[in-house]
Amino acid sequence: MEALISGLDQLLQPAVMVAIVIGSVGGLIIGAVPGIGPAIAIAILLPATVFLEDLVSLVLLLGVYGSSMYGGAIPAILINTPGTPVNALTTYDGYAMTRRGEASRALAIAYSSSFLGACFSISVALLSLFAFGPYLRDLGALFGQRDIMMAAILGGVLLIAAHKQNMVIAALLFGFGFLISVVGRQTTRKVDRYTFDIEYLYSGFNLIVVIVGIFALSQAMNLMTGKDDDAPPARISGGVFRGFREIARFKIVTLLSAIYGTLMGIIPGVGEFVAQFFSYSTARSLSKEPSRFGHGSPEGLIASETSNNAVPAAAMIPLLALGVPGEALTAMMMVVFFDAGIKPGPDIFENNPDFLFSLFIALLIINVLVVTTLFFSTRLIARMIYIPNRFLGAMIMLLSFVGVYSIRNSLADCIFAAAFGFIGFILRRLDWPLVPVVLGLVLGSIITQRLTAGAGQIKTAADMINRPVSGTLFVVILAVTCYIIWHAVKKTNRFEQ
Amino acid sequence: MNLARSQFEDLFLFEEQMPIDSVDAALRFKSECPPDRQFKSENMFRFRRGRGDFHASVFAAFIALVFLAFFSTETGWQDRKLPDNLGNYVGYQFGLVEIEGRAKRLGSILKQSWVVPFLCLLILIPASIINLRASWKIRRWRQRFLLPTDAGYETSKYLAALEYLAYFILYTLSVPVLGYLISTIVMGVFLTWRLGYRTVKWLSTGLLSSFAIVVVFRSFLQIKTPVSIWLYDQLPAAARAFMLTYF
């Protein structure tokens, strides 16, 4: 209880409250503009957060993370263009409802189901903190270096498995990201790894430079070399307040989707798409009208929006509990933790429990604020959809410069960011996923650190897996690896037939 | 118009196969039978290798080979400390072989600088080879069905992107000379013009947006900019100090 009160006390500082408001409203607008998305916004904001207080920075980024998917539903429903990638599924039922003249109903359902999904996962996190708080403090003893290393490996393996149709490409890009993470001078042994005698590379690649390049600069180029979308006019008639009543008709779908979202958020490397896949499939199998899915089914919309909004709060759990980010956005947040001197991992329950409470309560406040804002200003936010893509690309390029140059005013940083931006641009053109590169980089450095730190306790190979946690994780890694290989072989055979 | 075009495109199996450029002409051939729009949740993970994929796969394999080629010189492999009889040692690790005397600790090997790059290559090399094989098969399949396989269009897009990267680097170079405020405004207005938004309304939008970026990030958030800026150095001391602090 003391931690809860202390957490609330931290949140009530004026600067933190302002950050909550700016993050939430900014995230809404960013989500509503097709072409930006939370990853790009967080990548650009990361360097600026260095100049802010720790909690202010985190709450600002959490605001963008937690609210962008709400905003992303607006263009998905109104003009059939997802605001953020995870809103792609929303277009199938949301836009079909708009074409039937039910735009306000679709928006109402999307807002209320998103809100319930988010509240569910935040409640799970807060209740777990209350119920298991005293036991969670003992987690530190359960999770040693080898256990966290295994968790990071599991995150990588699950990430590859989650890219169902392009696992090989995901593995290739994860390997590339992992390799980038080892570039630099190994301080303990004074060995240069893949530096090719380039002085800049001695300190390794800066995470922010890579992230801004891969996500923001690549998208800027993508937009500037593309065409402006000729978006159809978005017409909203009627109010958007009746969504909660509608949700009450589909309680089971809402609950199951929230559970899927929370579970998939907790598992590192999985994230929103798999959560949506499971919840949408389940909703269709339970529905009395499965044929309406994809043609404007409210249940389909609920499944999509509830599950994707349940992920952000749940995705914070592996990040905070193990120090292992599950997806790109939480990986970026790790940078803020490092800057703040807070080491995410089992020890956080012992050292900073109030910090945990304040983060989850902030997420709750963000969601309340976002839904309230949306109920009153959807029409205003919907206007953002019409900012031309290429103009947006130019502005993202200017903002990317802020992100990279402000780190240390280095031309070399900008050149490397440009190079990573070009790589990211090619990957976007090829429809190859970007997230494995960044997670390869982040998880790779965790694996390297933990392997080096834990090596002293490893006498034989059995010592890697002879602890309860590492042993269990190893079994799961083996199972998922077998699934990946089986899937690859099956796909090859099907193609050859 | 876009809607009509997308409806027409649904009638074809492959996106490249649309033979008629004129949408009006194409719509005359539109079938009465609507295409199957049944959405499946598996569609979320749909991935199709397009043009340029094979070339990119070759390049990815080449990069992987470069890393492999430099493995011995760039990872500390030359200074490796491994047991004399590696085969026996591996067997010992899995409990298959007994080693006389004191065996080297596995941890002391894992700590060596070449181990992590070796693990990376264990992922990177097989993945790049399998990916190249898959891409090559798709390319052969496309050739069989007379679908375009050249990457000319993609290359033109890459070159177009390089132009904007050049502007980005020029922008970086201009900041220590002109300062953050002027460089950002010049770049913002120039990019707006270059992208084809050449009316006064759009150029002033570009100018105001660039100015807003500077105010938010430099004036309020106080991000770091160079201490010495040529243009600001030409100003009187008070103005120089003001510009350096806020812009």
Probe site for chain B from A99, A168, A492 (most B CB atoms < 10 A): A168
Distance from CA of B136 to the nearest CA of A (A): 12
Q: Taking a C-beta distance cutoff of 8 angstroms, is the pair A31, A193 a contact?
A: no
Q: What is the pLDDT of residue B110?
A: 87
Q: Is the pLDDT of residue A29 over 50?
A: yes
Lowest mean per-residue pLDDT among A345-359, B27-41, B66-80: B27-41
Greater confidence (B1 vs B242) lies with B242
Which DSSP string do the residues of B23-63 spell out, in sequence order? Answer: HHHHHTT--SS-------GGGGG-----TTHHHHHHHHHHH
Q: Which chain B residue's Cα is nearest to A88?
A: B44
How far is residue A404's CA from residue A212's CA, in Å, rounded to a whole number?
Answer: 7
How far is residue A218's CA from residue B225's CA, in Å, rounded to a whole number?
Answer: 24
* Phi, psi of A339, deg, nearest 5: -65, -35
Q: Taking a C-beta distance cutoff of 8 angstroms, is the pair A275, A310 a contact?
A: yes
* Phi, psi of A365, deg, nearest 5: -60, -40
A-B contacts (CB, under 8 Å): 244
The partner residues of A193 in beta bridges, in order of sequence, read A184
Write the CB contacts of A181 (distance below 8 Å, at least 6 apart in sequence): A204, A205, A440, A441, A442, A444, A445, A448
Lowest mean per-residue pLDDT among A55-59, A402-406, B146-150: B146-150
Contact B107 A456 (CB under 8 A): yes
Give the dihedral of Cα atoms B79, B80, B84, B88; nearest 10 deg. -170
How far is residue B119's CA from residue A450's CA, in Å, rounded to a whole number?
Answer: 14
Q: What is the pLDDT of residue B117?
A: 93
Average pLDDT over residues A117-146: 80
Q: Which chain A residue's Cα is nearest to B107?
A: A455
Q: Is the pLDDT of residue B2 over 60?
A: no
Measured between CB atoms, does B124 come within 8 Å of chain A?
Answer: yes
Lowest mean per-residue pLDDT among A229-233, A396-400, B53-57: A229-233
**Over pLDDT 90: what percentage of chain A?**
22
Which DSSP string do the residues of B201-218 spell out, in sequence order? Answer: HHHHHHHHHHHHHHIIII
Q: Which two tokens stand for residue A421?
A: 């931006």
Q: Taking a C-beta distance cutoff of 8 angstroms, is the pair A124, A130 a contact?
A: no
Q: Which chain B residue's Cα is nearest to A488?
A: B130
Nearest alpha carbon to residue A302 among A252, A265, A235, A264:
A252
Q: Which chain B residue's Cα is nearest to A224?
A: B195
CB atoms within 10 A of CB B149: 16
Q: What is the pLDDT of residues A82-122, one digit of tens each?
A: 888 788 888 888 888 888 888 888 888 999 999 999 999 99
Contact B217 A225 (CB under 8 A): no
* A163 vs B contacts (CB less than 8 Å): 45
Q: Which two tokens stand for residue B137?
A: 């098969």
**Over pLDDT 70: what percentage of chain A?**
94
Contact A406 B191 (CB under 8 A): no
Q: Is the pLDDT of residue B9 over 70?
A: no
Q: Which helix (H) or strand (E) holds A191?
A: strand A191-193
In this prediction, residue B1 has a pLDDT band, given cuts at 50, 70 and 90, of very low
Measured between CB atoms, does B206 come within 8 Å of chain A?
Answer: yes
How far is residue A423's CA from residue A445's CA, in Å, rounded to a whole number?
Answer: 21
Q: Taking a C-beta distance cutoff of 8 angstroms, is the pair A86, A275 a contact?
A: no
In this prediction, residue B61 has a pLDDT band, given cuts at 50, 70 and 90, of very high
Q: Is the pLDDT of residue A196 over 70?
A: yes
Q: What is the pLDDT of residues A210-243, one digit of tens each?
A: 988 998 899 899 999 988 776 666 666 656 667 7
Probe site for chain A from B62, B184, B195 (most A CB atoms < 10 A): B195
Lowest mean per-residue pLDDT among A44-53, A464-473, B72-81, B226-235: A44-53
Q: What is the pLDDT of residue A114?
A: 92
CB atoms within 10 A of CB A45: 25
In this prediction, residue A347 has a pLDDT band, given cuts at 50, 70 and 90, of confident
Q: What is the pLDDT of residue A37?
A: 79
How far is residue B128's CA from residue B58's CA, in Å, rounded to a whole number?
Answer: 8
* A222 vs B contacts (CB less than 8 Å): 161
Nearest by CB: A455 against B39, B111, B117: B111
In this prediction, residue B143 has a pLDDT band, given cuts at 50, 70 and 90, of confident
Contact A176 B50 (CB under 8 A): no
How many residues are given for chain B? 247
Q: Give this prediction's pTM.
A: 0.84
Measured between CB atoms, does B106 come within 8 Å of chain A?
Answer: yes
Q: Which residue is listed with tokens 């996500």? A: A215
Q: Is the pLDDT of residue A179 over 90?
A: yes
Distance from CA of A481 to the nearest CA of B (A): 12
Nearest by CB: A461 against B70, B94, B111: B94
Give residue limits of the domains in chain B. Answer: 2-35, 152-246
Is the backbone of residue A341 left (phi > 0), alpha (psi -120 to 50) or beta? left
- 3-class secondary structure, A184: strand
Contact B45 A273 (CB under 8 A): yes
Q: What is the pLDDT of residue A310?
A: 92
Measured between CB atoms, does B97 come within 8 Å of chain A?
Answer: no
* A175 vs B contacts (CB less than 8 Å): 64, 120-121, 123-124, 127-128
Measured between CB atoms, does B62 come within 8 Å of chain A?
Answer: no
Contact A388 B105 (CB under 8 A): no
User: If 0-12 CB within 10 Å is exposed, 13-18 middle and 19+ buried, where does residue B223 land?
Assistant: buried
Q: What is the pLDDT of residue A292?
A: 84
Average pLDDT over residues B189-198: 94
Probe site for chain A from B94, B138, B165 (most A CB atoms < 10 A): B165
